[in-house]
């Protein structure tokens, strides 16, 4: 009887994994209503995304209901730009975001102001800074 229960659980595990894999490769039309609503800014380009990119986007849709209205609005606003960033840029952003999370409120506020100032620099100046800067995380795992 115990063996039977274990076999059932193992099968459920396998089916669960298979279901998740199928979900990650789902076309736009196959997404749920809730997923389509969250990922609406990506509707046009969804079917051109690679499976691992879709997986990341579906993770966003999964966490979306846990957010408040302000966070949801920010996600909607930033999603398109996020999907167009290169895997390298996204990985750098994740690591820098983790560092940002560990800062004090005062430091976070200071960084926000600095970002505003940086935005006011001419685009040519920002391009020069980017070109002259070395890669931050040259050995990052990209996806």
Partner 1 sequence: MIVQNKTEAKLELHAEVEHQIAKNVVELLDSQTRQLNEAQTQRLLDARTRAVHHLTSRQAQLAQHYQLNKNGTALLWMGERFGRYFNQHRLFTGLLLLSVVLLTLFAAQQFVYHHIPNSDAFLLASELPPEAYADKGFNAWLDTN
Q: Which residues of this protein are in contact with partner 1, per CB under 8 A? A: 2-3, 6, 9-10, 13, 16, 56-57, 59-64, 66-67, 70-72, 74-75, 78-79, 81-82, 85, 89-90, 92-97, 100, 108, 111-112, 114-115, 117-118, 121, 126-130, 132-136
Shortest Å, Cβ 6 to partner 1? 4
> Closest CB to partner 1 among 43 and 129?
129
- Smallest gap, in angstroms, from Cβ of residue 65 to partner 1? 10
Helices (H), 1-143: 2-24, 33-38, 51-63, 69-84, 87-101, 105-119, 123-132
| Residue with Cβ nearer partner 1 (44 or 96) | 96
**How is 14-27 classified by DSSP, letter by letter?**
HHHHHHHHHHHT--
User: What does the block give as tokens for 135?
Assistant: 């890669």
Strand, helix or coil at 141? Answer: coil
Nearest to 11 by CA among 24, 1, 19, 55: 19
Specify the residue, 9 or 21, whose C-beta has the smaller distance to partner 1: 9
């Amino acid at each position: 009887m115990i063996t039977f229960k274990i076999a059932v659980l193992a099968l459920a595990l396998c089916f669960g994994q298979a279901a998740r894999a199928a979900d990650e490769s789902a076309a736009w039309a196959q997404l749920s209503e809730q997923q389509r609503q969250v990922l609406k800014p990506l509707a046009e380009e969804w079917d051109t995304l690679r499976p691992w990119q879709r997986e990341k986007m579906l993770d966003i849709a999964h966490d979306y209901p846990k957010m408040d209205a302000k966070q949801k609005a920010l996600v909607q606003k930033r999603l398109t730009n996020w999907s167009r960033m290169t895997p390298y840029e996204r990985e750098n952003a994740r690591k820098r975001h983790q560092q940002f999370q560990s800062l004090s409120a005062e430091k976070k506020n200071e960084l926000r102001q600095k970002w505003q100032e940086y935005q006011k620099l001419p685009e040519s100046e920002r391009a020069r800074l980017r070109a002259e800067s070395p890669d931050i995380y040259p050995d990052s795992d990209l996806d």
